[in-house]
Amino acid sequence: MMTPVFLALSLLAPATEGGPSDQADWLELDREIASLGAPGAQNPYDGALGHIAFELITSYQASNGEFYEVGGDDILGAELRRARLIWTGAVGEMRYVISGDLESGTMELKDAYAAWTCSDSLDFQFGRYKNPLLWGGRLTSFADPFLDVPITTEENNDRFTGILVEGGMADFSALLSVQNGVDDMSDKQLIVGRLQWDILGESAFGRWHGAYGYGEELAFSAAVAASDDGAIENGTVIAEELGLVARPFSLRGEAVQYDDEYDVGSSLDPDDTLGIAKDGTSPTSLTAGYLFGDDTFELLARWERFDDLAETDRLSFGLVWYSSYGPNGRWALTYQELGSEDELLEGERFELSFALANS
C-alpha cells in the first residue's frame, strides 16, 4: 500500500503532459487511493511491523464576532485542522497503537498503548490513552464532521498513562480505568468507570457520528459513567449518554455534572474552551442527523449548553458529502454560532473542510 508521505507527494505533484506511461501512473494512483476505503483492504493490526495510517483535515474558515477573532481580526483563511500518523500492529496476541500529531509542524505524541484480549469478553489496555468517561472522548475526533467535538467530550478526553480493563456480557459492557491524572506520577489517580446497555439492536455508539456505517435495524443504547481525579479537590464527575440510530435518522445526547466544589482550591482543571471554572456546572450536548442520497449526504445539527453564569450555548449545523470512501474521504460545510450574555463569548463561523484518512 502507498505510504502516507508518498501519497501526499503524489497528490501535490504538478500535472504533466505525457503518453500512456503517465496515464498508467495516474490509474495506478487511483487504484491506490480507492484501496484506502475498501472494506477489509488491510488489517491494521496485521503483523509486528504493522500498518501506518494517516488522518488529514484541512479547512477554509470565515468568522464574525469577538469569540472567533484572532489578534483582534475576524478569521478568513485556511487552517490545517489535523495531520495525524497512526502506527498499529501486533506481536503475538498483543496489539499496539502509537500515534503522533504533526499539525504544529513537529511531532507530538498522542496515543501509545498496547492491548490484549485475554478472552472473548475481556480486554486489557495499558499505556497512554484518552480518558474513557464518554464514548465521544474515546472515539477519534476525526470521526466528528463538526471538527470541534462537543463541550461535554472536549473537557473529558485528555490523555494519561494507565491501565484499562473492559468486558461485556449479553447487551451490557463495562470498563474500569486507572490513570495518572492531572498530577502525573504523584500519588493521586484518575479512576473512571463506565457501564453501557445496548437496549435494542447493535450499539448506537459505533465508529462514526451520525447514521453512516450503522445497520438497518434500530439501535438504542444508554450509558452511565463516573470519574474521580484525586489530585483535583472534589474531583468527581458524573456522565450520562443516550444514542439512537434508526436509519436514516440519528440522535445522541451527553450530560456531564461536576461536583459543586469541583476544583475549588486546586485550580488544576478549568474549562479549556471558555476559561471558566467548572464547579457546579452541568454542560449538555445533543446531536441529530439525517442521512440521505444513498448514504452520500448527511445533514447534522448540534446544540450545546455550557451552563456558565453567562448562559453560553453553541449551535452547529452541517452538510456532509461522503465520497466512495465514506467518512474517510468527505467534504463538510458547517456553521457554528456561539451565543452568550457576555459579548466576548459571542461569534459565528463558517467552515468548509476536507477530510482524508486510510485508518
Residue with cell 477554509: 60
Q: Which residues are 353's β-sheet partners?
A: 59, 332
Higher pLDDT, residue 105 or 153:
153
pLDDT band at 237 (very low <50, low <70, confident <90, very high): very high
* Cα distance between residue 267 and residue 77, in whole Å: 35
> What single-letter DSSP state applies at residue 70?
B
C-alpha cell recorded at residue 24: 498508467
Identity (one letter) of the amino acid at 313?
Answer: D
For the chain, domain boundaries = 43-357
- pLDDT at residue 35 greater than cutoff 50: no
* Cα distance between residue 359 and residue 2, in whole Å: 13
Q: Which residues are 245's β-sheet partners?
A: 219, 250
Q: What is the mean pLDDT of the chain?
A: 88
What is the structure's pLDDT at 5?
A: 37
pLDDT band at 18 (very low <50, low <70, confident <90, very high): very low
The residues, ordered by sequence, that sit 6+ positions from 284 with a Cβ below 8 Å of its Cβ are: 152, 253, 254, 255, 256, 304, 305, 307
C-alpha cell recorded at residue 292: 440521505
- pLDDT at residue 231 greater than cutoff 90: yes
Q: What is the mean pLDDT of residues 73-88?
A: 95
What is the structure's pLDDT at 48?
A: 64
Half-sphere exposure of 343 (CA within 13 A, CB side): 0
* Cα distance between residue 227 and residue 235, in whole Å: 8
Q: What is the mean pLDDT of residues 83-102?
A: 94
What is the structure's pLDDT at 42?
A: 52
- pLDDT at residue 98 greater than cutoff 50: yes
Higher pLDDT, residue 19 or 301:
301
Tell me what percent of the residues of the chain surpass a pLDDT of 90: 77
Closest to 226 measured CA to CA, from 252, 255, 181, 192: 192
C-alpha cell recorded at residue 222: 444508554
Closest to 157 measured CA to CA, from 134, 176, 182: 134
What is the structure's pLDDT at 71?
A: 86
Instruction: Assess contact for 209 and 221: CB atoms under 8 A.
Output: no
Q: What is the mean pLDDT of residues 113-135?
A: 94
Q: What is the mean pLDDT of residues 246-250?
A: 97
* Cα distance between residue 208 and residue 211, in whole Å: 8
Tell me what percent of the residues of the chain surpass a pLDDT of 70: 87
Q: What is the mean pLDDT of residues 79-102?
A: 94
Is the pTM higher than 0.85? The answer reads no
What angle (nearest 5°) sits at the alpha carbon of residue 146, between those of residues 145 and 151? 130
- pLDDT at residue 162 greater than cutoff 90: yes
- pLDDT at residue 155 greater than cutoff 60: yes
Q: What is the mean pLDDT of residues 103-109?
A: 91
What is the structure's pLDDT at 32?
A: 42
- pLDDT tens-digit map of 254-282: 999 999 999 998 999 999 888 889 999 99
Determine the 3-state secondary structure of 23 from DSSP. Answer: helix
Q: What is the mean pLDDT of residues 110-125?
A: 92
* Cα distance between residue 112 and residue 127, in whole Å: 6
Q: Options 1.20.140.10, 2.40.160.10, 3.10.20.30, 3.20.20.140; which CATH number does 43-357 get?
A: 2.40.160.10
What is the structure's pLDDT at 186?
A: 82
What is the structure's pLDDT at 168?
A: 92
